[in-house]
């Protein structure tokens, strides 16, 4: 049995990593008879050429309980899509690739745009949104999991732990978020979570009080992790950002739509490493620079819907409050690193905090300057209302692209 504690907001399953993977998988095979499981993999074509995804696919090929694997493929031309079909062909489970840049899915996207329902920009959020639509159209999964395709330390146990709380037929959890230690190569990682999100949430609580939403977000050990599982019906009504605010956006939506008693988080791994984003201090459209801007805007938008009033003066105060809290945390992280024999570059940490502080103000100005912005992709509930047959046509388009007897995109 897993150790767990109730923190008053969501249930936290800790040390589930101590259970043998074979035992978890045997139970999940039984659970799958009542709650079949689908997995979404949002991927760039470039990830097919890296070391992580090939290993992930090898591991997934041994997973016995998956009913379906859905791969969202971005930035791929026709030749690259054909290569992707071969790349994923080793999966014995039913699997389908969404060729997001192919003519069939582009035509559907254009139709959505004509109704004002298309995602406004490319990115992980858009990729996940189309995959979620296909999963609903295929109706093969009662539980849907998602994880990134750049996990260098991937193993089957991570997926089993992620699915377990939501797939268990006698549990009533509707959503599960994964977490893990951000330690690799003898140093602390997870800079955006450690140095931006945690002190930002505490600064917002200091300024606006212990709002339930802020308390809720702060209860997640790693809110920016890309691993979560949910009941299929949860996908139906959520509105997610198309940008780097995806993870915060998903957490916000499940908080809005579901009781916190139905939400949980689970310890996925003792060791986790993935592709690290550069800070990109000189380029606000890339790396951690862009990520921090998008996350800040996602938080501001959500708080505004709960009645929080923002102003230019308020954002300047938030920047100062955040900066002091973040510097205090750097001191604590330094002590933690020393105690555990880990490396921590305090100069690089403080430079990151300076960038994030500037971006809090920049995101605030963007929020105030563009109050009519439509940042969220519409829910699939709304799409069905506007275009009743679109999901079935999305399903048919994906099936046609994946048919080895047909010409993709023809």
Tell me the sheet residues that pair with 44: 74
Break the chain down into helix, strand, coil percent, rounded to 5: 50, 15, 35
The pLDDT, as a whole number, for residue 373 is 66
DSSP 128-195: HHHHHHHHHHHT--SEEEE--S-BTT--HHHHHHHHHHHH-TT----EEEEE---EETTEE--HIIII
The pLDDT, as a whole number, for residue 17 is 62
The pLDDT, as a whole number, for residue 116 is 92
DSSP 267: E
The pLDDT, as a whole number, for residue 3 is 42
The pLDDT, as a whole number, for residue 120 is 79
The pLDDT, as a whole number, for residue 1 is 33
* Residues contacting residue 324 through CB under 8 Å, at least 6 positions apart: none
The pLDDT, as a whole number, for residue 205 is 95
The pLDDT, as a whole number, for residue 290 is 83
pTM above 0.85, yes or no: yes
pLDDT digits (tens, 9 = 90+) for 252-301: 999 999 999 999 999 998 877 766 566 666 655 557 788 899 899 889 98
Spans of the chain, pLDDT less than 50: 1-6
- The CA distances from residue 93 to 63, 90, 140, in Å, are 9, 9, 12
DSSP 54-89: HHHHHHHTT-SSEEEEEEEEES--HHHHHHHHHHHT
pLDDT digits (tens, 9 = 90+) for 311-368: 999 999 999 999 999 999 999 999 999 999 998 999 999 999 999 999 999 999 999 9
């Amino acid at each position: 049995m897993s150790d767990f504690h109730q923190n008053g907001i969501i249930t936290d399953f800790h040390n589930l990593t101590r259970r043998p993977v074979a035992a978890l998988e045997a139970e999940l095979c039984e659970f799958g008879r009542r709650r079949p499981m689908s997995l979404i993999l949002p991927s760039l074509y470039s990830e097919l050429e890296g070391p992580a995804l090939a290993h992930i696919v090898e591991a997934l090929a041994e997973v016995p309980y998956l009913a379906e694997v859905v791969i969202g493929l971005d930035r791929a031309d026709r030749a690259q899509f054909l290569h992707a079909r071969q790349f994923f062909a080793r999966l014995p489970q039913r699997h389908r690739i969404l060729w997001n840049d192919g003519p069939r899915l582009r035509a559907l996207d254009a139709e959505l745009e004509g109704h004002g329902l298309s995602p406004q920009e490319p990115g992980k959020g858009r990729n996940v949104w189309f995959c979620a639509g296909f999963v609903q159209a295929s109706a093969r999964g009662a539980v849907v999991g998602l994880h990134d395709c750049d996990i260098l330390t991937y193993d089957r146990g991570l997926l089993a732990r992620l699915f377990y709380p939501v797939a268990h037929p006698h549990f009533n959890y509707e959503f599960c978020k994964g977490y893990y230690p951000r330690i690799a190569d003898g140093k602390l990682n997870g800079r955006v979570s450690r140095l931006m999100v945690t002190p930002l949430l505490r600064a917002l609580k200091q300024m606006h009080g212990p709002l339930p939403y802020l308390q809720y977000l702060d209860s997640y050990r790693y809110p920016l992790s890309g691993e979560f599982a949910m009941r299929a019906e949860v996908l139906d009504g959520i509105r997610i950002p198309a940008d780097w605010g995806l993870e915060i956006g998903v957490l916000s939506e499940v908080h809005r739509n579901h009781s916190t008693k139905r939400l949980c988080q689970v310890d996925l791994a003792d060791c986790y490493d993935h592709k690290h984003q550069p800070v990109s201090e000189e380029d606000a459209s890339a790396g951690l620079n862009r990520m921090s801007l998008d996350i800040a805007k996602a938080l501001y938008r959500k708080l505004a819907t709960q009645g929080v009033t923002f102003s230019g003066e308020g954002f300047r105060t938030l920047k100062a409050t955040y900066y002091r809290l973040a510097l205090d945390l750097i001191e604590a992280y330094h002590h933690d690193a020393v105690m555990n024999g880990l490396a921590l570059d305090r100069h690089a940490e403080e430079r990151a905090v300076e960038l994030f502080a500037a971006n809090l103000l920049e995101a605030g100005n963007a929020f105030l300057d563009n109050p009519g912005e439509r940042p969220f992709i519409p829910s699939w509930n709304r799409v069905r209302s506007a275009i009743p047959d679109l999901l079935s046509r999305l399903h048919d388009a994906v099936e046609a692209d994946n048919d080895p007897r047909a010409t993709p995109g023809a």
